[in-house]
Structure 1
């Protein structure tokens, strides 16, 4: 809402992408009426069809939902899909993490970061994570072995000074920073064959980011480390893999706050503070747990 021109926002579409609910019309798919599911509506589908999650009834592709694990409530599962898939696909498909490796999660209190910590721990990795001091216990409670307070000094300076040994196999930037400093200095803390993953640059400094991360060749001081932008893709297999970890108790929900359907504007106000720890959920049906 803070990026698109206002005239584009006047189109009558239902907003939001993550969803949890009950199937009322299976439409000949492998699901049946009454199935309790969670999933998501891909952003391009939302734009082209107007389908959205913030509605009393919505349509989703069968390939984008899975059965909800019984050990979580619909409200808890409502915040799983996009953040969970981003973390799952980043660490397993691109990071290819293995037991015994070392992973750094920048933005450990964000929704993606919170899931990333849990997924990395579930795979047997040693996990370090950054957040502000007030979120240290939250991040450690998710499984982080090492905590770094990014407010004490620029994070890249702290990591360089720490002389990390062994260096991280995966550095996952989940806060969407535009500042290229973390990548530019990553040779000091990222293994030569490691990978720097990012959910995507946001904010100011586009030119600096493009030059230092995407375009600058190594002979001009470019970083000799692999960088990858993470874009969530539709994959029922990945969604099932994520759900299995939830069912096994290796991933728990990360819900910041819950709002009634009629209070949806207050949910956006909460998001606007940039202080949400985990997901902000809107409960369409007040009777649902």
Structure 2
């Protein structure tokens, strides 16, 4: 009998408990497209937009059924003439990661850093790629002060570490329960966003304005950008990660406010500060940069929790993710994966 594997599919619109299904008995591919690699997956890291899109998008847009998730770490089984060799430990990101075996373009993979486990490597790609690109877009330099909203988010945790490695001063937000996590990463000033409206707290700071703002939370509250002249230097830039308010109507309203602020002249209510969205890069060189950041110790991946690949484990993992209280990545472990660095 030919060897088979299991994978998690999005099969219908709805939350994970309704829309995600484990399918078994899938044949392991024995022929691969050019420049693709067969990887035996060790661990998968969950991303919030996966379940949010499954809740919000109809079938004809989401193109169900499809294997879910993107971030993974694993072992090369068939290098298929690429630069890899069988047995290489790799991490990367591409559609269809929640699977015991994955066919993935070689350009979307790099070797796992030697100083992390597969469980840690699984969550490196999207959050570290995004954080690194955001700081590039902001053009931050040593000695400058960067404000990071959402410091305890997975992207925020990576951004804090990269900014500190660049020699920046970092001011970051989180709730009080995560204060020590951020301070241990080197945050110079912690702001508890639950203590009072964040815009008010920032406007009252008795410190020079920020040189750059990275909103790792995304488009949750346009007020942070619309009021940023009170705390962002005139030549500073505001960069936002992707984010999704509770409904498409809310999203449309936020976008309208943000782009009005960006595009209108000041005398018509425009915001005299540069604004941009960060996009997650996908070039091979970007994955290599992430690997180097981790291998050199500039970024230490943070894992919130580890769950099993069966239904109970996967549903518990998404339940944790949907609380919005995970600190670091929520990871699914394939049972026979190794935890050795």
What TM-score, normalized to structure 1?
0.92
Could you tell me how far apart the structure 1 residues matched to 2:114 and 2:134 are?
A: 26
**Is 2:155 aligned against 1:112?**
yes
1:209 Cα offset (Å): 2.1
Aligned residue for 1:75? 119
State which drifts further: 117-126 or 26-35.
26-35
Q: Deviations over 1:3-33 (max 9, x none)?
A: 2236766823211000101111111111111
Q: Which of these residues, 233, 237, 255, is aligned with residue 195 of structure 1? A: 237
State which drifts further: 170-179 or 145-154.
170-179
Give the secondary-structure state (helix, strand or coil) at the position aligned to 2:204. helix
Q: Is the 8 A contact 1:108 1:117 kept in 2?
A: yes
Q: Which structure is higher in strand share? A: 2
Aligned residue for 1:38? 91
**Is 2:193 aligned against 1:150?**
yes
1:202 Cα offset (Å): 1.7
1:215 Cα offset (Å): 2.4
Give the secondary-structure state (helix, strand or coil) at the position aligned to 1:2. helix
**What do you get for the CA RMSD once the two structures are aligned?**
1.6
Could you tell me how far apart the structure 1 residues matched to 2:194 and 2:152 are?
A: 14
Aligned residue for 1:162? 205
1:101 Cα offset (Å): 1.0
Aligned residue for 1:274? 324
Q: Is the 8 A contact 2:154 2:329 kept in 1?
A: yes
Aligned residue for 2:108? 64
Aligned residue for 1:133? 176
Give the secondary-structure state (helix, strand or coil) at the position aligned to 2:181. helix
1:233 Cα offset (Å): 2.0
Q: Deviations over 1:39-67 (max 9, x none)?
A: 100xxxx3xxxxx1110000111111111
**Is 2:284 aligned against 1:236?**
yes
Aligned residue for 2:333? 283
Computing the radius of gyration from Cα coordinates, the structure with the larger value is 2
1:200 Cα offset (Å): 2.1
Alignment size in residue pairs: 278
Could you tell me how far apart the structure 2 residues matched to 1:207 and 1:31 are?
A: 44
Structure 1 alignment gaps of length 5 or more = 47-51
1:138 Cα offset (Å): 0.6
Q: Deviations over 1:238-266 (max 9, x none)?
A: 22112112111121111000011112121
Q: Is the 8 A contact 2:219 2:254 kept in 1?
A: no
Could you tell me how far apart the structure 2 residues matched to 1:172 and 1:187 are?
A: 14
The aligned runs of 1:259-270 (5 Å cut-off) are: 259-262=307-310, 263-270=313-320
Give the secondary-structure state (helix, strand or coil) at the position aligned to 2:207. coil
Could you tell me how far apart the structure 1 residues matched to 2:133 and 2:223 are?
A: 24
1:178 Cα offset (Å): 2.9
Go from structure 1 to structure 2 and tell me whether the alpha carbon gap of 1:73 and 1:286 turns closer, same or farther (over 3 Å shift). same
Structure 2 alignment gaps of length 5 or more = 1-53
Could you tell me how far apart the structure 2 residues matched to 1:268 and 1:227 are?
A: 32
What TM-score, normalized to structure 2?
0.78
Could you tell me how far apart the structure 1 residues matched to 2:179 and 2:220 are?
A: 24
Could you tell me how far apart the structure 2 residues matched to 1:287 and 1:198 are?
A: 35
Q: Is the 8 A contact 1:84 1:112 kept in 2?
A: yes
Aligned residue for 2:260? 215
Aligned residue for 1:181? 223
1:164 Cα offset (Å): 3.1
